[in-house]
Every structure is written in C-alpha cells, then in structure tokens.
Chains A and B, each alone.
Chain A
Amino acid sequence: MGFSLANAIKREVPGNMLPFVGFCIALNVTAGYLTALIKLPLYLDAIGTVLLAALCGPWIAAIAGSISNLLFGALGNPTMIFFIPTMIAIALFSSAVARWGWFRRWYLVVLGGILQGVVAAVISAPISAYLFSGVTLGGTDFLVIYFRSMGNSILDSVLYQGLSSDPVDKTITYLIVFSLLMNLPRRILQKFPRHSNIIRPSSSHADAT
C-alpha cells in the first residue's frame, strides 16, 4: 500500500487536536510579533512547528509550517511564502530528533538545535540568494555583506551567514520547546499521539498539577 499524506495526517492528529494545530500555526505567526515587541534580534518563527513535530508527527508539522508561512505572507510579509521548503525541512528534521528521544535531555536538545540550524541554513541559502540576492533587510544582512566583501559569491555568502546565525536561532527555539514540554503536566502530554517522544513509560516526569 502506497504512502498517503491524508492518512498519515489522520494518524498523527485525531480530530479533536485540530485546534491545537491551529494554535501552533498562530504561535509561529505571533512569534514575529512577539520578537518585534520586545525587540530581540531573533526569528523564533518555528516554535509551533517544532512543538507539533515533537508531539504529533512530521507530516502535520510540515503542513502547519507551510500554512504558517502562507499566513505570514497574507498578514504582511509575502517574502515568507518562498521559505516554505525550509519550514518543511524543519518539521521533518525536528520530528526525527524527537523520535530519537533527544527532547528528553537538554544537551541533546542543544545538539539538535545546532544541527537543525545547519539544515535550515543549507535549504534557505539558495532561496535567499537567488530570489533576494542575500539582502532581506533583516538584522543578519551585514553578515552577508561582510562575507561578500571577502570575495565570496552571493550563494556562498548567504550560506555562511545562515551557518553563523541559524544554529543560534534554532538552538534557542529548541530550548524554548524543551522548556515548554518539561512544564506541561503529564496528563496533558499523554493526550498527544507521540507523547512517548517526551516521556518514557517508566519516567517520573513531575505532574505540575
């Protein structure tokens, strides 16, 4: 029997979890607002995607990530639509990381975040280079200019910029998700299909309630 995306999603999210998926999308979108509000030099636009990938699975996280970027586009920043492939890669990779049990230990979370940053940088570099020539008026543009001034091509400069800033951003994203997961009461965690990614059956995860 062939792979069906619709069936994979049905397996990952029972009907009553759909509002949670909607919340994760809103969390991605609102993170832009949030970081702008407190003026932090970060993106943090994949917290909802990573949370969903860890608790539900890769396919619904990929769809939620894609819808997030479409909503970003609809709500004021159309350039985000072109970074949907990056969001899909984040969903697939973070789901694998969760499956390996890396969201149970903080040092593995840090390692996962760094690797995720490298993956995101490699995928977003060609998009940023070919569509925007590496200049997107973000806080990291000066890094692209710096690498270009050293004689690198646009693609190389954008890649080096991504490799120097994305791992930091994604590590922080992973640590935030880890902190949220550790603070979720066990009875709530157990409602999610992939709760075993976070808690072992015999673990003594404290119930906050």
Chain B
Amino acid sequence: MQRSIAAKLSLLLFFWVCAFALEWNLILPLIGILVVARWTIPFRPVTDRLARAWNKFLLYLLLLFIALMAVNALFIKGGAVLLEFGPLRFHSEGAIFGLATAARVGLLSLATLLMFISTPLKNLVKFLQAWGLSPSIAMVILQALFFVQKLPSRIDQILLAQEARGANVRGNVLARARSLTALLAPLVLSSILESLQRGLALELRGALHAVPGADRERPAIPIEAYVLVLLAIIILLLRFAS
C-alpha cells in the first residue's frame, strides 16, 4: 500500500510538471490516459461515493472545456472566424487559448483527483507521518476527516428538526438564508463543544503526547517513483532549454 502511495505521489508530480511544461496538443493524450486509468486496479476509486465524484468531475471538465473555448473565442480576436451568430464572432486564436487553458487545468485536476480517489486519506496521512509529517498536523487531518464524515448527517438532522418545527428551510433565497442561521448556530456550537470534549478525552488517554509515527519504518521508495521524478526533471530542463 505505502509503496504504491510513493509511486502515486511521483506520478502526480510528473503530471503537474507536464501540465505546466507541455503544449496543449501533448497534454490532451495525457488527459485521455488519466480518464482510462480510473478503471485500472491501482487507480480504482476506494468508495462508490468517490467514483460518483469522479464521474461528476468529468462532466464538469467537459463543460469547462466548452465554456473556456467559447468565451475566449468570443473575446480574443485573432485568426480565422470559426463561427458567426449574428453579432457574435468566434475566433480561432481565442478558441486555441481556451483549449490550452482547459487542457492545463484538466490535467492538473484529473491527476490530483485520481490520486485522492484511489488512496484512502488515512493511509496517505500514515505514509506522510512515516516521512516526517508532524504528529499534530496528522492528528488535525484525522480529526478533520472525522468531522467531515459526521457534519453532513448532522446538518440533515438539524434541517429536518427545524422543518418539523415549522421553519421554511426550502423556500425562496431569503427563507433559505434565514434557515442558514437557524442551521449554523446549533451545528457549530454543538460541534465546538464536542471537539473540546474530544481534545480532553485524547489528552486523558495520553494520545496527544504519543508520537504515532515514531515506531513506523520508512517505506522503501519504488524504482518507478525515481524514474517518474527524473522524467519530470528532464521535461522541466527541456522546457527551459527551449
């Protein structure tokens, strides 16, 4: 597990370098590779929810490509006119600029998302701890994950309770804005109290003075991780040289 995390982080670095160093016509095939990679074993989403998030993001990305190309083709005037709707003229120079921007953002985003949907965050935190991440920061991230999982269900409970009391939580914008106050106060105040109690409980158990990563051996870095980092450096050097 940890071996693959090191390789995945190197792959992420490689794709980030590619996004900034390569031209859009080289980036597009890399995006295709990432879209296909989601179906391979090392990059399979760890939960159904994350698989849905991935699919939703692909749709978002498609819209991003269309929007960036359309808006830039409309406002950056240069090159041939590709389309004409009444007074609106879409120019090729703007369309290519939009495509290049969308390709860069797409590669950066897809590589990051693929890394995270296929790696449980708790495993990532453990891996980083073995490589020197402060135990306090690790504790903060794990507590954040606990609350991230817990808060949505608590929000649903509070909204349902407010609705049962007659509050209009699904009306117009004003009603929804008012319901936000009715939602936030109980949500935040109860969670602050819970977080303080959790801190006290952890302190009493001595968890805050332990160094969880201290007895963990540093995992070996696989050879493919070194190769990917080397490739990233070569791409950067070639970019600067040209």
Closest to A25 in B: B144
Quick check: B180 and A40 within 8 Å, CB to CB? yes
Closest CB of chain A to B130's CB: distance in Å? 19
Shortest A120–chain B CB gap in Å is: 20
Q: Decide: B72 and A133 in contact? CB cutoff 8 A.
A: yes
| Interchain nearest-CB distance for A143 vs B (Å) | 12
Q: For the complex, is B137 an interface residue (Cβ under 8 Å from A)?
A: yes
Which of B67, B155, B194 is close to A33, meaning CB atoms less than 8 Å apart?
B155
A residues within 8 A CB of B161?
none
Taking a contact as CB atoms under 8 Å apart, the answer to whether B140 and A30 are in contact is: no
- In the complex, what residues of B have CB within 8 A of residue A38's CB? 169-170, 176, 179-180, 183
Interface 0/1 of B43-74, CB less than 8 Å to A = 00000000001001100100110011001100
In the assembled complex, which residues on chain A have CB atoms less than 8 Å from the CB atom of B75?
Answer: 145, 148-149
Find chain B residues with CB under 8 A from A22 CB.
139-147, 195
A23 touches B189 (CB 8 A): no
Q: How large is the interface on B (under 10, 10 to 19, 20 to 34, 35 or more residues)?
A: 35 or more
The stretch from B22-30, B196-204, B233-241 touching chain A is B196-204
Cβ B196 vs Cβ A191 within 8 A: yes
User: Does B37 interact with chain A (Cβ within 8 Å)?
Assistant: no
Question: B170 → chain A, closest Cβ, in Å?
Answer: 8
Task: Name the segment of B78-86, B102-110, B215-223, B224-232 touching the other chain.
Answer: B102-110
Could you tell me which residues of chain A, from 161 to 185, have a CB within 8 Å of some CB in chain B?
A: 176, 179-180, 183-184
> B148's contact among A47, A51, A71, A145, by CB below 8 Å, is which?
A71
Name the residue of chain B whose CB is nearest to the CB of A82: B108
Pick the residue among A29, A73, A137, A179 that contacts B116 (CB under 8 A).
A73
Task: Tell me if B185 is interfacial: C-beta within 8 Å of chain A.
Answer: yes
Interface residues of B in 142-183 (CB under 8 A from A): 142-148, 150-152, 155, 159, 169-170, 173, 176-177, 179-181, 183
Task: Name the CB-closest residue of A to B177.
Answer: A40
A135 in contact with B180 (CB, 8 Å): no
Say which residue of A16, A23, A51, A76 sits within 8 Å of B53 (CB atoms): A76
- Would A20 and B195 count as touching, CB distance under 8 A? yes
- Is B4 an interface residue, CB under 8 A from the partner? no
A-B contact count (CB 8 A): 185
CB-based contact A29/B60 at 8 Å: no
Q: Nearest Cβ distance between residue A62 and chain B, in whole angstroms?
A: 12
A63 touches B185 (CB 8 A): no
What separation, in Å, do the CA atoms of A137 and B109 have in the docked complex?
14
A contact set with B: CB distance below 8 Å: 6, 9-10, 15-23, 25-27, 29-30, 33-34, 37-41, 47, 51, 63-64, 67-68, 71, 73-79, 81-82, 131-137, 141, 145, 148-149, 176, 179-180, 183-184, 188, 191
Q: List 28 A-B contacts (CB under 8 A).
A: A6-B134, A15-B203, A16-B208, A18-B140, A18-B199, A18-B208, A19-B202, A20-B192, A21-B143, A22-B145, A23-B147, A25-B140, A25-B147, A26-B147, A27-B188, A30-B152, A71-B144, A71-B145, A73-B116, A76-B57, A79-B105, A131-B105, A132-B68, A133-B97, A135-B67, A135-B68, A136-B64, A176-B184
B residues at A contact (CB < 8 Å): 53, 56-57, 60, 63-64, 67-68, 71-72, 75, 97-98, 101, 104-105, 108-110, 112-113, 116, 121, 134, 136-137, 139-148, 150-152, 155, 159, 169-170, 173, 176-177, 179-181, 183-185, 188-189, 191-196, 198-200, 202-203, 208-209
